[in-house]
Amino acid sequence: MKTNPFAPVLPLFASLLLFTASCNTPAKETATQTTDASAMTPERKQAIEQEISGLVKEFFQQVEKLDIETCMTYFENTPDFQAVNPDGTLGDYNALKKLNADGFNQMKTLSVVPAKEVIRVLTDSLVLYTFSMEQNATLKTGEKMKFEHVAGTMLFSKINGAWKATFYQESAPVPVK
């Protein structure tokens, strides 16, 4: 009886072929549960708008308290976070924190007077928030400053069930003294 010298190798070769084929098959993407704003009910969209409006109201209350640590909890601390500062420079989470901490440390008081807010729900987990306001500051030296037209944009993402700003942009003219 003759034996085929390739017989023991055949199952090994077949296994290797199947393994290679499965490695070249694209991975199935997991469907996300994101719902586009156009597919949302008006009630769901309004509920998200109210969540964001309440969140930014709390945020600006913390800004008035000059509490940088609490203020920064509204932002997502990741390498992907981006900020555009009033002077046009770009920054990450830590740069935004340092810039605002330096400013807060010079102030005795700060008041925020909202003028307008626009909340644009993009999906059930992505919201664009735009604001305009006036800010009045009293420095620790006693000098008073007024920023008449401050405007900004925050991009909120729902991360682990909580809304966090993943992008922040602010524009402001030179203060009026």
78-115: pLDDT as tens digits: 999 999 988 889 999 999 999 999 999 999 999 999 99
Q: Is 2 inside a domain boundary?
A: no
User: What's residue 2's pLDDT?
Assistant: 52
Q: Is 18 inside a domain boundary?
A: no
Is the pLDDT at 32 greater than 50, yes or no? no
Indicate which CATH number applies to the domain containing 117. 3.10.450.50
133-171: pLDDT as tens digits: 999 999 999 999 999 999 999 999 999 999 999 999 999
Q: Is 26 inside a domain boundary?
A: no
Q: Is 117 inside a domain boundary?
A: yes
Name, in order, each residue with C-beta under 8 angstroms of 159's C-beta and a sequence gap of 6 or more: 76, 166
Residue 56: band (very low, low, confident or very high) from pLDDT cuts 50, 70, 90: very high
Total number of domains constituting the chain: 1
User: What's residue 108's pLDDT?
Assistant: 98
Q: Is 1 inside a domain boundary?
A: no
- Name the amino acid, one letter, at 126: L
Q: Is 104 inside a domain boundary?
A: yes
pTM above 0.85, yes or no: no
More confident residue, 156 or 23: 156
φ/ψ of 131, rounded to 5, equals -140, 155
Name, in order, each residue with C-beta under 8 angstroms of 80's C-beta and a sequence gap of 6 or more: 166
Q: Is 177 inside a domain boundary?
A: no
Evaluate whether 168 touches 153 at the Cβ level (below 8 Å): yes
Domain limits for position 114 = 40-171
Residue that has been written with the tokens 């500062």 in this structure: 85
User: What's residue 171's pLDDT?
Assistant: 94
Whole-number Å distance between alpha carbons of 129 and 56: 9
| CB-facing half-sphere around the CA of 162: CA atoms within 13 A | 8
Is the pLDDT at 68 greater than 50, yes or no? yes
